[in-house]
Amino acid sequence: MRKALPLILALTAPLSAHAVEGGLGRSITGLQVTNYAGVVPPTPGWNLALGYAYYSGEIGAQRQLPISGVTALGVDASFGLTSLTGVYVWNTGEGRWNFASMASLPYSEVDVTADLVLGPLRGSKDDSVGKPFDISFVPLMAGYHFDKTRHLSLSLSVSAPTGDYDPNRLANPSLNVWVYTPTVAYTQLFQQGTLEWSTVVGIDFASKNKDTDYQSGAIFHADSLLVKSFGNGWGLGGAMGWIEQIEDDSGPLADRLGGFRGSAWAIGPIVTYQRKWGQSTVAFSARWLTEFDVQNRLKGDPMMLTASVAF
């Protein structure tokens, strides 16, 4: 079971690439779930994961978008986020319950082009930035083992506004809000453990952006993957995600846009590889998804790469 943890929390770091204000936010459609998401293994110790997420999307000029305290009538944006995540499994023995903690340090590269509207004035603006992004941490994750094939984990992820933020800039390496995400994850193993089904369900609750007087509504997200592993270490499967905003945004700009609730679906393939390296387990994963049925959000193609090692 030790091999599972590096992929549990590799991307619970802030992988912001789309949601509410600015068409951007903490959760990306289809990227919240990782391999063995419901498993917290009993073996204590450190685990490290390096993750990279890339998102390129757009919203057409037919739909107004709130961004940097003004309105845009069309946005093209790309986001790259590299995160180093450390996970520590606490020494609680091999009972049904096990516990872990996590912290992540991310670095973002953001490019945005927007057609802005300010009263009767319109104009196009480009902006880009590359800086450290908001840190993310999970004080405690609790994992429960029903048996060797069924596992459940509970956690509260916190994203802190530690990145640089300027309300007059289109591209920002921070959301400028606290985001709290209670999460439930479940993993079921079939065919002697070679077929895995993992699902993650959570809700993002964000504080108000005081610089823009914008309050983003709560966002529900559900993500699932199915992966078949083979004897040579390779695995192949698919991932899908659903994001649904369950509360209106609020504030002067959000009220003018009718609450600006968003939703999106995404689906695509996933490839994994895992092997022993001395006393450690090394794992890699790659996925590429396409979004569809998108409302009031950027529409694009989420991509994620991870590499992890358990000591």
pLDDT at position 301: 93
- Dihedral angle of Cα 98, 103, 107, 111, to the nearest 10 degrees: 70
- Strands, E assignment, 146-209: 150-159, 179-190, 195-206
Strands 280-288 and 303-310: what pairing? antiparallel
Q: How far is CA 110 from CA 32, 75, 129, 197, in A?
A: 20, 13, 5, 33
Structural contact between residues 113 and 79, judged by C-beta atoms closer than 8 angstroms: no
Residues 76-103 pLDDT 10s: 888 899 999 999 999 998 789 999 999 9
- Thinking of the domain 2-310, which architecture would CATH place it in? Beta Barrel (2.40)
pTM of the model: 0.87
- Strands, E assignment, the chain: 45-59, 65-67, 70-89, 97-118, 121-132, 136-145, 150-159, 179-190, 195-206, 219-229, 234-245, 263-277, 280-288, 290-295, 299-300, 303-310
Q: Which of 144, 259, 241 is nearest to 202 (CA)?
A: 241
- CB atoms closer than 10 angstroms to residue 33: 25
Element (H, E) at 254: helix 252-256
pLDDT at 17 over 50: no
Residues 209-268 pLDDT 10s: 999 888 989 999 999 999 999 999 999 999 999 999 999 988 877 777 777 888 999 999
- CB atoms closer than 10 angstroms to residue 121: 7
Of 47 and 190, the structure prediction assigns the larger pLDDT to 190
